[in-house]
Chains A and B, each alone.
Chain A
Amino acid sequence: MSIQSCVEVRNEWDIVSARQLGRNMAKELGFGTVDQARITTAISELARNIYLYAGHGKVCIEAVEEMGKKGLKIIATDKGPGIRDIRKVMEDGYTTSGGLGAGLPGVKRLMDEFSIDSSVNVGTEIIATKWIR
Chain B
Amino acid sequence: MRIPILKMHEYLLISIQVELDDQTALQFQEDLLKRIHDTGAKGVVIDLTSVDMIDSFIAKVLGDVVRMSKLMGAQVMLTGIQPAVAITLIDLGISMREVPTALDLEQGLDKLRLELEE
Question: Which A residues have a C-beta under 8 Å from some C-beta of B?
Answer: 12-13, 15-16, 19-20, 23, 33-34, 36-38, 40-41, 44-45, 48, 92, 99-103, 105-107, 109-110
Contact = CB atoms under 8 A, between A and B. Distances in A.
The 5 nearest A-B residue pairs measured at CB: A102-B56, A37-B84, A106-B92, A44-B55, A12-B22
B84 A45 contact: no
Given A13-B21, A100-B60, A34 B53 contact: no
Contact of B21 (A15, A38, A45, A106): A15
A33 B93 contact: no
19 contacts: A12-B23, A13-B21, A33-B52, A34-B88, A36-B52, A36-B84, A37-B53, A37-B85, A37-B87, A38-B88, A48-B57, A92-B93, A101-B56, A102-B56, A102-B59, A102-B92, A107-B92, A109-B91, A110-B92
Contact of B55 (A33, A48, A92): A48
Interface of B: 19, 21-23, 52-57, 59-60, 82-85, 87-88, 91-94
Given A23-B53, A33-B84, A102-B59, 12 more contacts: A12-B22, A16-B21, A33-B83, A34-B87, A36-B52, A37-B52, A37-B82, A44-B57, A48-B56, A100-B56, A100-B60, A102-B56
Nearest to A111: B91
Contact of B94 (A33, A34, A102): A102
A110 B88 contact: yes
Given A33-B84, A36-B84, A109-B92, A41 B19 contact: no
Contacts of A107: 92
B52 A40 contact: yes
